[in-house]
Copies of this chain bind each other. A is one copy, B any other.
Amino acid sequence: MELQDYLKNVVQDIDLMIIRYFGHPYGPLQEASAHLLSAGGKRLRPAVCLLSADAVKEGSSFDVAPAALALELIHTFTLIHDDIMDHDAERRGVPTVHTLWDESTAILAGDVLYARAFEFLCRTPAPDNARVRAVTLLADTCNDICEGQYLDMSYEVRDDVTEVEYLDMVRKKTGALYAASAAIGAIMAGGKPMQVDALFQFGMSAGIAFQIQDDLIDLMAPSSVSGKDRASDIRQGKQTLVSIKAREAGIDLTPYRKTLSDPEMDALIARLETAGVIAEVREAAENILEHGRSVLTILPGSDERRLLFELGEYFVTRGS
């Protein structure tokens, strides 16, 4: 099967579950909880979860779809809360929850999805010990995600963030949930501890690489691809691998903290390319991904292993 077909199937399956369980909200709060969830999305964390389960299962296995949905619920809850903190008015082409309702409702809407994620983990028809391990890992992951978001916000008022600090933040903010997605898929499907560990490491690496590519997309891609204003990271003074490596190359991005015209933007990109910054950032993402893919070789050869490899490749090439 082609990766794009697999991903399309996942989107269909997850969207159907979302319609079934969240499509008939019984009041304004449940409606607010369902709003962003129902606004589409690539459902990449569920895809990682389902592929990981299929990559380790032997013979008949358990249906891990409820666990895959749980990971999308956690992702969505963090987006709803992050949008409040970042004062973002739009996401996935629709107004954010706190814009359409209010901040109090958005806090509660996120809290509802948070709860329902743990509910769906427990609904997964897997052995009890697998479900307890999955809940423990997801709880630990949520703690990491909060830490990551906190670090990301605290970096905005600094201009001396190091690469190590940046990678620590990205590991928590984005890597942890991809790592948990892969590991929870494997745990629920009855994977052996070594397989669960390998998939956790793969998810972590792929997630970090995904975020670095996201930063590149923000800089390079037109708004129509990124879904955001072009170079919003640079305008807001966000610390990314691009800004860190630019600083190391002697390029001061501070004067660019304003709305840039397209020609100004093109000149900046040309300057970063000439200094080798873009190539270095790309290489960093590829190296991190490569580490994750190398540990995957302990899994038996299968279509699903190949698709995980290709999914990693997609993470660092999308939008370019």
Q: Which residues of A contact B (CB under 8 A)?
A: 27-29, 81, 84-85, 103-105, 107-108, 110-112, 114-119, 121-123, 127-129, 131-132, 135-136, 138-143, 146-147, 149-150, 153-154
Contact = CB atoms under 8 A, between A and B. Distances in A.
Contacts of A147: 27, 29, 112
B142 A111 contact: yes
B153 A139 contact: no
Contact of A136 (B119, B129, B154): B119
Nearest to A133: B122
A115 B127 CA distance: 22
Copies in the complex: 2
Contacts of A29: 146-147, 150
Nearest to A149: B108
Q: Top 4 nearest A-B pairs by Cβ distance?
A: A128-B128, A115-B142, A85-B104, A118-B139
Contacts of A129: 128
A143 B27 CA distance: 13
A181 B118 CA distance: 17
A153 B85 contact: no
B119 A128 contact: no
Contact of A139 (B81, B84, B115, B154): B115
Given A29-B146, A85-B107, A132 B140 contact: no
B136 A81 contact: no
Contacts of A118: 118, 135-136, 138-139
Contacts of A140: 115, 119
Contacts of A143: 112, 115-116, 119
A111 B114 CA distance: 9
Nearest to A74: B115
A200 to B, nearest CB: 17
B136 A122 contact: yes
A238 to B, nearest CB: 15
Given A115-B139, A122-B136, A122-B139, A146 B108 contact: yes
A132 B139 contact: no
A139 B122 CA distance: 9
A70 to B, nearest CB: 10
Given A132-B122, A132-B128, A108 B139 contact: no
